[in-house]
Amino acid sequence: MKLYGYWRSSAAYRVRIALNLKQLSFDSVAVHLIKNGGEQHSENYKTLNPAQLVPTFVDEDVSVNQSLAIIEYLDEKYPEPAFLPKSLAAKAQVRAAALDIACDIHPLNNLRVLQYLTGPLALSEEQKLGWIKHWLNVGFTALEQRLALTSGQYCFADEVTLADICLIPQIYNAQRFSLDMTAYPNLNRIYHNCQQLAAFALAVPEQQADAQ
């Protein structure tokens, strides 16, 4: 198995956590999102993933993009430990929290969006940072309220789920941009608890071979 990614990509970070939780061996293939105009735009990588985004996961003759699709593939192929609860209602709640992060929070502070803000739209670095913090606060405020009803050690009681896999990389991003996290005690507690697990600690961006 190969995971094409970038050390600081939160989407690739999610997949690393999932692979570690399943205790699966994989080869990391670095795709540098900044160097040479962005290696994700190279002809070789565009052939593999026309969206020109990371991650891309390859398992023999199967190639999958989109982190949540990759994680679902892993969860179905290797059922233990499960990333989703068995109850239909609980499964939907976990998926909803994961999608709150992956679809509504993460895309607004993704690299290509930020590059467009400071490139064609000519925003200053200060304005860009204001954009990042605004949308993180909007998303985290709603998530904090949601998880106040469901969380224990982790997002949903005391079992790691897909929601935790998505949350921890997003909090890492918030820390990168010096977001004040004091208003989010539930998120902070979950983040601390997850970081005690080897699967999460080994997936941290600074632990990756291509970290710079």
Partners of residue 26 on adjacent β-strands? none
Question: Distance of CA 117 to CAs 126, 138, 178, Å?
Answer: 11, 19, 19
* pLDDT recorded at residue 21: 98
pLDDT along the chain (212 residues), means of 10: 97 98 97 93 95 97 97 98 97 98 96 95 97 98 97 98 98 97 98 98 96 84
User: Degrees (nearest 5) of the Cα angle 153, 176, 37?
Assistant: 130
Q: Which domains does the chain have, with CATH numbers?
A: 2-81 (3.40.30.10), 88-199 (1.20.1050.10)
* pLDDT recorded at residue 212: 75
Predicted confidence (pLDDT) per residue in 187-201, tens digit: 999 999 999 999 999
The DSSP output letter for 82 is -
Predicted confidence (pLDDT) per residue in 140-163, tens digit: 999 999 999 999 999 999 999 999
Specify whether the CB–CB gap between 94 and 143 falls below 8 A. Answer: no
The per-residue b/e assignment along 150-165, b for 16 or more CB within 10 angstroms, e otherwise, is bbebbbbeeebbbbbb
The average confidence (pLDDT) of the chain is 97
